[in-house]
Amino acid sequence: MADASYTSLPQDYDTQLGDYFALLKPRVMSLVVFTALVGLLAAPVSVHPVIGFASILFVAIGAGASGALNMWWDADIDGVMQRTAKRPIPSGRVPAGEALSLGLALSGLSVMMLGLAANLLAAALLAFTIFFYAVVYSMWLKRATPQNIVIGGAAGAFPPVIGWVIATGSMSVEAWLMFALIFMWTPPHFWALALFMKSDYNDADVPMLTVTHGRRVTRAHILAYTVLLVVLAVGTAFTAVGGPVYLATALVFNGLFLIGALRIWRRPEATAVEDGYRTEKKFFRLSLWYLFAHFGAILVEALLRPYGLGGW
């Protein structure tokens, strides 16, 4: 852990509210809010809008808290990597100690408030998710094994389960299917990023698959995980959260995703370098749409259900 600022700012620079907000990883938070909301609305139990709103807000705050703890712990390597060098701690805008305090305070607040707003199981799941992301992934796996994002991906996969539990107070197969979707999606998504952020992980000495096993093996892994993901994502269409809208969406996006993964697998590294990793960047962008489309389709099925249109 480094506690130093890596770049120079005016000596009288006061940390702004926006700097603290950036610590909460707002883009990750938006994905968490969306998937948790889908989990909540797809559940077969309706929730009062005030309780639903408050619960999702506390899940978002919990996700933000784990982001702040991650940034506190990773400040040293964030400063080395081009992609993360401008984050609040390495850029000197937020002292590391303040990030830690904010992360711990918001973790406690979000878990406690979710317990009061929804139920204890949802609160316990949120606490476990924060622990998993901050401790298991950030402090342990990330710098220890090339399987870091495979196992660590579980942290990002919990929000729809939490959403489901907020509504029902219990877990079910459908909730874990949504978990599995994000869990299987995470490795190809991040490995594509690792392919085109070429030297970042090397510079920071993070044992990403690209660093430990090479880029050819990473390309093969992207394809293998994509094949498994396609089976899971299309199969989900025939469960209680699926339906015709979901099936159509899944067929289109899984077809595109599989083609993208095949292209990545077939490409020699020299060709990728030549065109500035165009295919890999395209696959990465598609992966964001992929997840959004699948959860969007689950949401549409859930919203149509009261009118007798959603599901099979």
Q: Which residues here bind other proteins, judged by CB under 8 A?
A: 12, 14-17, 48, 50-51, 54, 57, 116-117
Q: Which is nearer to other proteins, 98 or 269 (CB)?
A: 98
Q: Which is nearer to other proteins, 59 or 261 (CB)?
A: 59
Q: How far is the CB of 112 from other proteins (least distance, A)?
A: 11
CA distances in angstroms from 127 to 111, 150, 159, 301, listed in the order given: 6, 20, 12, 30
Q: How far is the CB of 17 from other proteins (least distance, A)?
A: 4
Q: Cite the DSSP H helix spans in 239-310.
A: 244-266, 269-274, 278-304
Task: Measure the CA angle with vertex 240, ends 234 and 241; round to 5°.
Answer: 65
Quick one: tokens of 111? 């878990």
Q: Which is nearer to other proteins, 61 or 130 (CB)?
A: 61
Quick one: tokens of 135? 């401790």
Place of tokens 């689950």: 298
Q: Which is nearer to other proteins, 18 or 44 (CB)?
A: 18
Q: How far is the CB of 105 from other proteins (least distance, A)?
A: 13
Q: What is the DSSP letter of 133?
A: I
**Dihedral through CA 249, CA 251, CA 254, CA 255, nearest 10?**
-130
CA atoms of 24 and 251, how far apart (whole Å): 34
Q: Which is nearer to other proteins, 50 or 173 (CB)?
A: 50
Q: How far is the CB of 289 from other proteins (least distance, A)?
A: 32
Q: How far is the CB of 54 from other proteins (least distance, A)?
A: 5
CA atoms of 148 and 184, how far apart (whole Å): 13
Q: How far is the CB of 214 from other proteins (least distance, A)?
A: 47
CA atoms of 132 and 130, how far apart (whole Å): 5
Q: Which is nearer to other proteins, 12 or 307 (CB)?
A: 12
Q: How far is the CB of 4 from other proteins (least distance, A)?
A: 23
Work out whether the CA dihedral 66, 63, 164, 46 comes out positive or negative. Answer: positive
128-142 in b/e form (b: 16+ CB < 10 A) is bbbebbbebbbbebb
Write out the H or E segment, with its range, that includes residue 154. helix 148-157
Q: How far is the CB of 265 from other proteins (least distance, A)?
A: 48
Q: Which is nearer to other proteins, 54 or 247 (CB)?
A: 54
Q: Which is nearer to other proteins, 47 or 150 (CB)?
A: 47
Q: Which of 200, 247, 192 is nearest to 222 (CA)?
A: 192
